[in-house]
């Protein structure tokens, strides 16, 4: 009995178990459809497909045309991939539908009838935008201490980011891996070392050589696989619009994704409590419609046949290729070609059909051209240009100085072209003198094609936004930003203009007491040149900007200016010291005047050094070509003045409305 049991157990464990084979009953489905050419599309199935059903053209039909493919083949190395070739070419950026029927897998499971979409996609500017930038993540508010950019697909198409790159002027990142970004989807791009830290907060992927983001300003570019600029952002820390947040820990967010070309006006700091919204809709997302027409700012002659145009915002780079949008006067006509300049497309180079001539001013007019969101250029569409000449001494002068700005303001220097030359500002430098009286702190004006025409004004400052905030200017485009300016002290200092050879074009050594004596608080008040043909170092040729113009006239005619050719004259005083004691010696001051034309009205007042009027000597007095007035040293009450220095202030108005002002110092000894 024991022998039988042992045999039975041995038989059970010795004979292998028989199991049923697994039967495939699941039909195939479509995983992905990708357009790979003008008439070819690939379909990836979820499993290998039976060859005869896969290669039957009747199993595929293009919905838009009703046509079947002319050629179908299952891939030799991947039986789950089928290549379709159609007779007609697809149109770019149009959604197509393919009906797929009768496809079976290797187990004869037939797929359900399916309709799939594809598109012959060609990347266009602004299909994907950079809409959030974490350039300065320290100190941390909630988001990890790493730099990143956010991309958003604002097109109606699914876009494969394979081969796309980020770039700066210093180089490009490695390519983005194959990844489908659906319409209105967001994705964060960062360095490989940052993905793990960001993953709990958002969908983040890395690229090699992720560009380092400057805290203060940078130009970031998104490139398609063929190197085309899709979006570029030239940000500065002014875009935060918040002094606290610009110190770090907060991202910059785009306000309106449908307004991707606008810079400062369409960006601000995040208001999310963590400091950013990676891969989420921006915390400041809102409508911010740009309805402003673009402006043609300036044109620079590269040489006699090539011009460079500067606009105030990015333009439609495709439309700009049409030469009929541009016309040059003086018989030149439309250009031969136009080349919009990436990545911002706010500049263009054009080639002329004929050479322009030296010592001649031309005008270029742009019509019908639009910015990137189709606002058409309007009234600011004509700009003059010409071939520039080298500046010599006194061709340009210092015309206005703000050396004592408001508490939150900045200095500025205004330059005036008093010559008949067209001068390129790259040939002018601003400097001052050091304690040894040597020229120092030389600052160059950016080499970006600024031309200074005869009788034109240019202002240089470190922050044009603040100048435009504090003062009214009819030509804000002529206020130029420099990274730094020489130091201009509040009490006294100097401004020096140099040419490329280091020769002095003009120099002014100013003092704060050149301001009008009645002004107690000189903060925020510019000092204006009265006569640009007059002596730069004559304090009587300078005066405080008027209150009616807001105490400054940057890039505009000075409120206190005169034109010497219309009102020529002199006012002198003798003697310079009077002693009104009736001893017959220097008892009276004589105020002599000489003017080129008759019919002038004169006002003369005497001020003490505190700016108080002590004597109204002449009021609206009609004077001749030459003559004199006398002052006996007494005040309006006919009493003796205390010993000290006084100012005789003479204001002359001619029949053409031109005003000239004179200040003469006189000493009184009682």
Say yes or no to pLDDT of 581 above 90. Answer: no
Mean pLDDT of 144-172: 94
Q: What is the mean pLDDT of residues 289-312?
A: 93
Lowest mean pLDDT among 15-19, 69-73, 175-179, 494-498: 15-19
pLDDT of residue 367: 96
Give residue-wise pLDDT tens across range 60-72: 999 999 999 999 9
Alpha helices in 424-545 (DSSP H): 464-470
CA 667 → CA 48, 166, 347, 518, distances in Å?
108, 71, 60, 19
User: pLDDT above 70 covers what percent of the chain?
Assistant: 95
Calpha distance 268→237 (Å, rounded): 10
Under 8 Å between Cβ of 89 and 39 = yes
pLDDT of residue 228: 94
- φ/ψ bin of 331: left (φ > 0), alpha (ψ from -120 to 50), beta (otherwise): left
Strands 296-303 and 306-311: antiparallel
More confident residue, 336 or 598: 336
Assess whether pLDDT exceeds 60 at residue 5.
no
Query: Which is it for the CA torsion 267, 339, 460, 543, positive or negative?
Result: negative
d(CA 62, CA 66): 5
CB 317 within 8 A of CB 329: no
Separation CA 297–CA 254 (nearest Å): 25
Summary mean pLDDT of the chain: 90
Contact 62, 86 (CB under 8 A): yes
pLDDT band at 3 (very low <50, low <70, confident <90, very high): very low
Which carries the bigger pLDDT value, residue 654 or residue 400?
Answer: 400
**What pLDDT digit, counting tens, does each position of 228-248 carry?**
999 999 999 999 999 999 999
Among residues 115, 149, 118, the alpha carbon closest in space to that of 133 is found at 149
Q: What pLDDT does 14 receive?
A: 44
Q: From residue 436, how far is each of 313, 432, 644 by CA, in Å?
A: 45, 11, 33
3-state secondary structure 498-567: ECCCCCEEEEEEEEHHHCCCCCCCCCCCCEEECCCCCCCCCHHHEEECCHHHCCCCCCCCCCCCCCCCCC
Pair 542, 528: CB distance under 8 Å: yes
**Angstrom distance (rounded) from CA 233 to CA 130:** 7
Q: How far is CA 18 from CA 15, 103, 276, 396, 536, in A?
A: 9, 34, 61, 103, 110
Of 286, 232, 231, the C-alpha closest to 254 is 286
The pLDDT tens digits of the residues spanning 481-497 come to 999 999 999 999 999 99
pLDDT single digits (tens) 243-272: 999 999 999 999 999 999 999 999 999 999
Residue 622 to residue 602: CA distance in whole angstroms: 6
Q: Convert the pLDDT of each residue in 593-643 to its tens digit.
A: 988 777 788 999 999 988 899 999 999 888 878 888 989 899 999 898 999
pLDDT of residue 192: 93
Q: Is the pLDDT of residue 19 over 70?
A: no
pLDDT above 90 as % of the chain: 74
Q: Residue 18 has what pLDDT?
A: 43
Is residue 44 scored above 90 in pLDDT? yes
Structural domains in the chain plus CATH codes: 30-119 (2.60.40.1220), 128-269 (2.60.40.1260), 296-385 (2.60.40.1220), 396-549 (2.60.40.1260), 569-668 (2.60.40.4070)
Q: Is 427's pLDDT higher than 50?
A: yes
Q: Read off the pLDDT band of 105 (50, 70, 90).
A: very high
Torsional class of 298: left (φ above 0), alpha (ψ -120 to 50), beta (otherwise) = beta
* Separation between Cα atoms, residue 616 and residue 637, nearest integer Å: 11
In the chain, what's the furthest Cα-to-Cα distance?
165
Under the banding of pLDDT at 50, 70 and 90, the label for residue 21 is low
């Amino acid at each position: 009995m024991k022998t039988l049991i042992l045999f039975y157990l041995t038989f059970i464990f010795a004979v292998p178990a028989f199991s049923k084979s697994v039967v495939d009953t699941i039909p195939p489905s479509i995983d992905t459809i990708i357009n790979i050419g003008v008439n070819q599309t690939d379909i990836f199935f979820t499993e290998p497909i039976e060859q005869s059903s896969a290669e039957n053209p009747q199993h595929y039909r293009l919905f838009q045309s009703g046509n079947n493919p002319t050629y179908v083949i299952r891939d030799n190395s991947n039986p789950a991939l089928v290549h379709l070739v159609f007779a007609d070419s697809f149109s770019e950026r149009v959604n197509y539908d393919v009906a797929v029927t009768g496809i079976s897998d290797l187990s004869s499971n037939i797929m359900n009838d399916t309709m799939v979409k594809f598109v012959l996609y060609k990347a266009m500017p602004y299909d994907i935008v950079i809409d959030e930038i974490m350039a300065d993540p320290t100190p941390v508010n909630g988001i990890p201490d790493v730099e990143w950019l956010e991309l958003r697909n604002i097109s109606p198409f699914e876009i494969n980011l394979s081969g796309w790159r980020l770039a700066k002027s210093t180089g490009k990142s490695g390519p983005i891996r194959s990844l489908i970004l659906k319409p209105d989807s967001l994705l964060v791009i960062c360095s490989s070392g940052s993905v793990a830290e960001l993953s709990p907060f958002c969908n983040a992927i890395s690229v090699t050589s992720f560009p380092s983001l400057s805290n203060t300003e940078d130009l970031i570019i998104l490139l398609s696989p063929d190197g085309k600029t899709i979006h570029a952002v030239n940000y500065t820390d002014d875009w935060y619009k918040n002094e606290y947040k610009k110190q770090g820990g907060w991202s910059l967010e785009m306000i309106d994704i449908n307004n991707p070309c606008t810079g400062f006006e369409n960006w601000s700091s995040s208001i999310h409590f963590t400091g950013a919204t990676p891969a989420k809709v921006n915390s400041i997302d809102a409508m911010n419609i740009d309805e402003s027409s673009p402006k043609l700012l300036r044109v620079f002659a590269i040489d006699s046949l090539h011009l460079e145009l500067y606009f105030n915002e990015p333009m439609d780079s495709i439309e700009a290729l049409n030469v009929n949008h541009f016309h040059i006067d003086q018989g030149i006509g439309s250009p031969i070609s136009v080349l919009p300049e990436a990545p911002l497309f706010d500049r263009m180079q054009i080639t002329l059909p004929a050479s322009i001539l030296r010592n001649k001013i031309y005008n270029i007019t742009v019509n019908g051209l639009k910015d990137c969101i189709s606002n058409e250029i309007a009234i600011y569409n004509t700009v003059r240009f010409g071939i520039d000449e080298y500046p010599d001494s006194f061709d340009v002068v210092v015309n206005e100085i703000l050396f004592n700005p408001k508490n939150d303001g900045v200095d500025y220097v205004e330059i005036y072209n008093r010559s008949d030359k067209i001068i390129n500002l790259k040939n002018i430098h601003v400097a001052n003198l050091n304690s040894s009286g040597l020229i120092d702190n030389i600052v160059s004006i950016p080499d970006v094609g600024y031309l200074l025409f005869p009788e034109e004004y240019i202002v240089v400052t470190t922050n044009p936004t603040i100048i435009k905030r504090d003062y009214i200017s009819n030509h804000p485009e002529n206020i130029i930003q420099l990274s730094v300016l020489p130091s201009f002290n509040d009490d006294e200092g100097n401004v020096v203009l140099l040419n490329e050879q280091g020769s002095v074009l003009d120099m002014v050594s100013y003092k704060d007491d050149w301001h009008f004596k009645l002004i107690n608080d000189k903060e925020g008040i510019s000092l204006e040149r009265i006569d640009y043909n007059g002596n730069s170092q004559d304090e009587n040729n300078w005066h405080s900007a008027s209150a009616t113009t807001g105490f400054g006239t940057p890039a505009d005619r000075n409120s206190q200016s005169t034109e010497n050719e219309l009102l020529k004259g002199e006012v002198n005083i003798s003697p310079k010291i009077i002693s009104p004691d009736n001893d017959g010696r220097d008892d009276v001051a004589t105020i002599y005047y000489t003017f080129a034309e008759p019919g002038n009205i004169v006002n003369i007042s005497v001020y003490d050094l505190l700016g108080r009027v002590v004597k109204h000597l002449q009021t609206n007095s009609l004077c001749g070509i030459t003559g004199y007035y006398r002052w006996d040293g007494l005040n309006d009450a006919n009493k003796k003045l205390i010993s000290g220095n006084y100012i005789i202030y003479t204001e002359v108005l001619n029949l053409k409305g031109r005003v000239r002002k004179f200040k003469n110092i006189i000493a009184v000894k009682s």
